[in-house]
């Protein structure tokens, strides 16, 4: 093809030109993205503050209380003092608090939940009034009966010993924090990439960018890198919070946690990009993002173990990317597992991220 | 039937932008551009003028390499989009219609970002200075006025040190002062031998700014040339515009017999006579009005404008939807 000589460059009056290197565009795209995120108060709240509030709230609600005291009522009659005597002599005397009350008052307060059990000893023997639907009521019946029988001279043929399990590492907060971390990586990956990209498309900013010599790969790379930077902060904040406030112990290596975190951040970024590949409006993509994330909030063991779901759906649950991420994070953080030992989960996560990214590239619309 | 062909290039000048037989059909149905030829010389300011929906934006976006034409050829600086996209992107400055730049970046950061995409961009401080954005350099884009935002959009196009500037309706929705500021910027760029292609539906903008222009309607060029050529092509270079206190229904026939009147149209109770020599027409007009016992409530005479050209060509106004 014949080349026409290009006209002289009209330079801006009295300006000197600069020469940009290969990575100037990428650096500025990443810098711009981080500045935009930092200047968006909602982002700071949802990415950094919200997970901590959630951890704090749930951690307090499900904290391990000192050994529970069972509060029971004893119906005031001629045998009441015998009941109290037996309880005083039993080993469980510190764990059971008993009030002697008139039958009516006792039953009323039992119904209101003040007492877990009502004990009445009349001529025909011991009567327990308990509610099988209330776990503490069932427990109180067994506990009190045990105490009374033992104090009356029953021998236990089997010797038993019990150890309390409320050490750091086995509490609800320990289960919760890695799950919140996984969920947070999913949320911020989906919103941080998916929503942001559609918003830029709606503003015609994507179109304006591809009208410049910007490399499209640099753009995607910068979006992905911004996720990695945020991931570092998210991991540091949540684990630091768990360690400081709830004395959580991190068993595995920090490097393994960061590697899994990075893979999670990038994979969910890829899924976010796929979700955003065609949508023209932020309303559309918001719906899509919630649709994609909803099953994982429920099934992937964020707040409670997915073992509660029927056996038959377990393989499907384990194939979800968030399940793989949560399981890997829990294994490393709580049990000190190595990165290598989590290979199968890492592969599941990588496949989700990789396939999503490739499909996104294929379908992606810049305009 | 062959469309009329307008000679829009001089043979001995090099073309910065040229296209032949450009067509664009959306979804196999809507024909936005229906066979369009353009040749725009290096260093000129060329305008695509037409009403909304005429195909201006589709045309300019094809030339910018953002849309693929259904058929036809495009050459920019002697290159094609298929073969030389990366080089062409370095040489073009683009301002799209209604791009909303990131509101959480400052003016300076936005320009630095766009400058970073080019191999040899202009310096950001120089662009800030030239586009009078210096005072707003550290303001967030979200806090700018409409005129400032539009200047920034043009600045993002100029910061790449382009040879050709594409501006899609650069002054739509701006106040008169902001419009004049942008016109100055475009002229400065042109004075440094830059080529400009802009779309507009403002007549005055096209008349003042463009060396040549093409009027587009329904995806086709219906007239092209310099603004004065186009006006000269009108039958009657002057317009006599008047209104009477009593509206006369069949008046059109009455006025067309006045001396020197080329054509008559009436609109909202006003009459527009296209005339060769106002000094011959006006006395005759006054005596007819007197005979009829009517009274003039309005009378002006002016040079014909591009608006008149457009109305004569299409029977419609440019700003009509």
Amino acid A189: pLDDT? 92
- The answer to whether the Cβ–Cβ distance between A207 and B99 falls below 8 Å is yes
Q: Report chain A residues whose CB lies below 8 A from the CB of B65.
A: 211
In a domain, A36, yes or no: no
Of the candidates A275, A279, A251, A271, the one whose C-alpha atom is nearest the C-alpha of residue A322 is A271
Q: Report chain A residues whose CB lies below 8 A from the CB of B91.
A: 6
Tell me the per-residue pLDDT of B167-185, one tens digit each, with 9 for 90 and over. 999 998 888 898 999 999 9
Q: Read out DSSP for A66-110?
A: SSPPEEEEEE-STTHHHHHHHHHHSGGGGTEEEEEE-HHHHHHHH
Last residue of a domain, one of A92, A117, A151: A151
- The answer to whether the Cβ–Cβ distance between B113 and A208 falls below 8 Å is no
Spans of chain B, pLDDT less than 70: 1-13, 247-252, 318-321
Amino acid B4: pLDDT? 40
- The answer to whether the Cβ–Cβ distance between B161 and A211 falls below 8 Å is no
- The answer to whether the Cβ–Cβ distance between A367 and B78 falls below 8 Å is no
In a domain, A293, yes or no: yes
Q: Are B47 and B54 in contact (CB under 8 A)?
A: no
Residue B183: other Cβ atoms inside 10 A: 16
- The answer to whether the Cβ–Cβ distance between B100 and A7 falls below 8 Å is no
Task: Pick one of 3.40.50.720, 3.20.20.70, 3.40.30.10, 3.40.50.300 as the CATH number of B15-231.
Answer: 3.40.50.300
CATH number, domain of A76, equals 3.40.1710.10
Residues with Cβ within 8 Å of B86's Cβ and at least 6 positions away in sequence, in order, are A213
Task: Give how far B42 is from chain A: nearest CA, Å.
Answer: 7
Amino acid A166: pLDDT? 59
Is residue B290 packed enough to be buried (19+ CB in 10 Å), middle (13-18) or exposed (0-12)? exposed
Task: Give how far A47 is from chain B: nearest CA, Å.
Answer: 18
- The answer to whether the Cβ–Cβ distance between A6 and B77 falls below 8 Å is yes
In a domain, A34, yes or no: no
Q: Are B137 and B110 in contact (CB under 8 A)?
A: no
Q: Which helix (H) or strand (E) holds B267?
A: strand B261-267
b/e per residue B13-39 (b: at least 16 CB within 10 A): ebbbbbbeebbbeeeeeebbbeebbbb
Amino acid B29: pLDDT? 81
Instruction: Look at chain A and report how many structural domains it folds into.
Output: 2
Q: Are A269 and A188 in contact (CB under 8 A)?
A: no
In a domain, A101, yes or no: yes
Q: Do A239 and A199 fall within a single domain?
A: yes
Amino acid A88: pLDDT? 86
Q: Do A190 and A115 fall within a single domain?
A: no
Q: Report chain B residues whose CB lies below 8 A from the CB of A365.
A: none
- The answer to whether the Cβ–Cβ distance between A40 and B78 falls below 8 Å is no
- The answer to whether the Cβ–Cβ distance between B194 and A6 falls below 8 Å is no
Q: Report chain A residues whose CB lies below 8 A from the CB of B15.
A: 4
Q: Do A147 and A279 fall within a single domain?
A: no
Q: Which residue blocks in chain B are alpha helix, DSSP H?
A: 56-63, 81-91, 107-116, 124-130, 146-158, 176-191, 203-209, 227-232, 251-256, 278-291, 306-314
Mean pLDDT, chain A, rounded, equals: 88
- The answer to whether the Cβ–Cβ distance between A3 and B79 falls below 8 Å is yes
Q: Do A126 and A194 fall within a single domain?
A: no
Domain extent at residue A134: 70-151
Is residue B294 packed enough to be buried (19+ CB in 10 Å), middle (13-18) or exposed (0-12)? middle
What is the share, in percent, of chain A residues with pLDDT greater than 70? 92
Last residue of a domain, one of A151, A183, A206: A151
- ipTM entry: 0.84
Amino acid B250: pLDDT? 58
CA distance A360 to A356: 6
Q: Can you read off the two tokens belonging to residue A201?
A: 């498309």
Q: Do A233 and A182 fall within a single domain?
A: yes
- What is the dotted CATH code of the domain comprising B235-303? 3.30.70.100
Q: Report chain B residues whose CB lies below 8 A from the CB of A200.
A: 102
- The answer to whether the Cβ–Cβ distance between A7 and B89 falls below 8 Å is no
Tell me the per-residue pLDDT of A256-301, one tens digit each, with 9 for 90 and over. 999 999 999 999 999 999 999 999 999 999 999 999 999 999 999 9
In a domain, A276, yes or no: yes
Q: Do A199 and A327 fall within a single domain?
A: yes
CA distance B38 to B2: 16
Spans of chain A, pLDDT less than 70: 1-17, 64-68, 162-169
CA distance B118 to A213: 6
Residue B56: other Cβ atoms inside 10 A: 26
Q: Which residues of A fall below an 8 Å CB-CB distance to B?
A: 1-20, 24-25, 27-29, 31-32, 35-36, 39-40, 200, 203-205, 207-214, 367
**Region at B143 (left for phi over 0; alpha for psi -120 to 50; beta for the rest):** alpha
Taking the alpha carbons at both ends of chain A, their separation in whole angstroms is 30
CA distance B31 to B69: 11
Q: Report chain B residues whose CB lies below 8 A from the CB of A40.
A: 104
Q: Do A111 and A228 fall within a single domain?
A: no
Residues with Cβ within 8 Å of A312's Cβ and at least 6 positions away in sequence, in order, are none
Task: Give how far B166 is from chain A: nearest CA, Å.
Answer: 11
Sign of CA dihedral A49, A55, A61, A67: negative
Q: Do A341 and A266 fall within a single domain?
A: yes
Tell me the per-residue pLDDT of A164-174, one tens digit each, with 9 for 90 and over. 665 666 788 88
State how far the alpha carbon of A111 is from the alpha carbons of A20, A114, B149, in Å: 78, 8, 69
Amino acid A78: pLDDT? 85
Q: Report chain B residues whose CB lies below 8 A from the CB of A27.
A: 116
Q: Do A141 and A212 fall within a single domain?
A: no
- Closest Cβ–Cβ partner in B78, B100, B120 for A3: B78
In a domain, A20, yes or no: no
Instruction: Compare all CA atoms of chain B with the CA of A206 and give the residue at the minimum distance.
Output: B99
Tell me the per-residue pLDDT of A321-336, one tens digit each, with 9 for 90 and over. 999 999 999 999 999 9
Amino acid A341: pLDDT? 94
Amino acid A112: pLDDT? 86
Q: Are B224 and B212 in contact (CB under 8 A)?
A: yes
Q: Do A126 and A243 fall within a single domain?
A: no
Domain residue ranges of chain B, discontinuous segments joined by +:
15-231, 235-303
Instruction: Compare all CA atoms of chain B with the CA of A203 and give the residue at the minimum distance.
Output: B100
Q: Read out DSSP for B126-149?
A: HHHHHTT-GGGTTSBGGG--HHHH
Amino acid A196: pLDDT? 93
**Residue B144 Cα to chain centre, angstroms:** 25
Q: Do A84 and A142 fall within a single domain?
A: yes
In a domain, A15, yes or no: no
CA distance A15 to A38: 33
Task: Give how far B100 is from chain A: nearest CA, Å.
Answer: 5
Q: Report chain B residues whose CB lies below 8 A from the CB of A23.
A: none
Last residue of a domain, one of A151, A179, A201: A151
Q: Are B192 and B45 in contact (CB under 8 A)?
A: no
Q: Do A138 and A277 fall within a single domain?
A: no
Q: Can you read off the two tokens belonging to residue B251?
A: 């008046």
């Amino acid at each position: 093809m014949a080349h026409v000589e290009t006209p002289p460059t009209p330079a801006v009056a009295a300006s000197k030109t600069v020469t940009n290197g290969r990575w100037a565009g990428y650096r500025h795209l990443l810098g711009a993205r981080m500045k935009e995120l930092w200047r968006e108060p909602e982002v700071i709240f949802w990415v950094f503050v919200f997970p901590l509030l959630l951890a704090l709230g749930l951690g307090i609600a499900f904290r391990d209380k000192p050994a529970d005291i069972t509060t029971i009522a004893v119906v005031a009659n001629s045998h009441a003092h015998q009941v109290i005597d037996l309880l005083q002599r039993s080993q469980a005397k510190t764990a059971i608090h008993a009030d002697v009350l008139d039958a009516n008052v006792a039953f009323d307060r039992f119904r209101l939940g003040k007492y877990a059990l009502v004990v009445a000893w009349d001529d025909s023997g011991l009567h327990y009034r308990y509610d099988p639907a209330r776990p503490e009521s069932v427990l109180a019946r067994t506990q009190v009966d045990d105490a009374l029988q033992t104090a009356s001279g029953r021998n236990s043929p089997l010797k038993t010993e019990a150890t309390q399990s409320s050490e750091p590492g086995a509490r609800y907060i320990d289960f919760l924090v890695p799950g919140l971390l996984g969920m947070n990586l999913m949320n911020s990956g989906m919103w941080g990439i998916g929503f942001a990209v559609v918003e830029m498309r709606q503003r015609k900013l994507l179109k304006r960018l591809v009208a410049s010599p910007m490399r499209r790969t640099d753009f995607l790379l910068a979006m992905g890198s911004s996720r990695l930077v945020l991931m570092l902060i998210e991991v540091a904040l949540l684990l630091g919070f768990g360690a400081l406030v709830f004395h959580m112990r991190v068993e595995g290596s920090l490097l393994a946690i960061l590697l899994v975190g990075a893979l999670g951040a990038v994979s969910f970024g890829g899924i976010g990009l796929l979700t955003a590949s065609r949508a023209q409006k932020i309303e559309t993509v918001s719906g899509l993002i919630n649709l994609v994330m909803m099953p994982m909030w429920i099934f992937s063991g964020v707040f409670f173990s997915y073992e509660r779901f029927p056996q038959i759906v377990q393989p499907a649950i384990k194939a979800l990317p968030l399940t793989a991420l949560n399981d890997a994070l829990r294994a490393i953080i709580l049990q000190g597992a190595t990165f290598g030992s989590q290979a199968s989960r890492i592969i599941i996560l990588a496949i989700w991220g990789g396939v999503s990214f490739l499909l996104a590239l294929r379908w992606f619309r810049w305009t | 039937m062959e469309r009329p062909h307008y000679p829009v290039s001089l043979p001995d000048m090099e073309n910065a932008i040229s296209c032949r037989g450009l067509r664009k059909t959306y979804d196999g149905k809507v024909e936005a551009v229906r066979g369009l030829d353009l040749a725009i010389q290096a260093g000129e300011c060329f305008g695509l003028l037409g009403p909304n929906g005429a195909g201006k934006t589709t045309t300019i976006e094809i030339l910018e390499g953002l849309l693929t034409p259904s058929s036809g050829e495009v050459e920019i600086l002697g290159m094609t989009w298929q073969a030389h996209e990366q080089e062409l992107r370095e040489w073009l400055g683009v301002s799209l219609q209604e791009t909303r730049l990131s509101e959480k970046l400052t003016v300076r950061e936005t320009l630095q970002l766009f400058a970073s995409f080019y191999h040899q961009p202009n310096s950001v401080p120089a662009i800030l200075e030239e586009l009078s954005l210096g005072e707003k350099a550290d303001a967030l884009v979200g806090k700018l006025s409409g005129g400032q935002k539009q200047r920034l959009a043009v600045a993002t196009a100029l910061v790449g040190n382009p040879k050709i500037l594409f501006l899609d309706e650069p002054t739509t929705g701006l106040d008169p002062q902001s419009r004049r500021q942008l016109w100055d910027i475009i002229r400065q760029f042109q004075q440094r031998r830059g080529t400009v292609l802009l779309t507009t539906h403002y007549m005055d903008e096209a008349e003042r700014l463009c060396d040549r222009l093409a009027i587009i309607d329904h995806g086709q060029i219906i007239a092209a040339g310099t603004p004065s050529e186009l006006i000269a092509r009108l039958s009657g270079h002057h317009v006599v515009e008047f209104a009477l206190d009593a509206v006369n229904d069949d008046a059109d026939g009455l006025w067309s017999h006045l001396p020197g009147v080329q054509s008559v149209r009436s609109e909202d109770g006003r009459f527009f006579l296209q005339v060769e020599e106002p000094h011959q027409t006006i006395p005759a007009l006054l005596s007819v009005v007197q005979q009829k016992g009517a009274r003039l409530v309005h009378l002006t005479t002016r040079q014909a404008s591009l608006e008149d050209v457009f109305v004569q060509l299409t029977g419609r106004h440019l700003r009509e939807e």
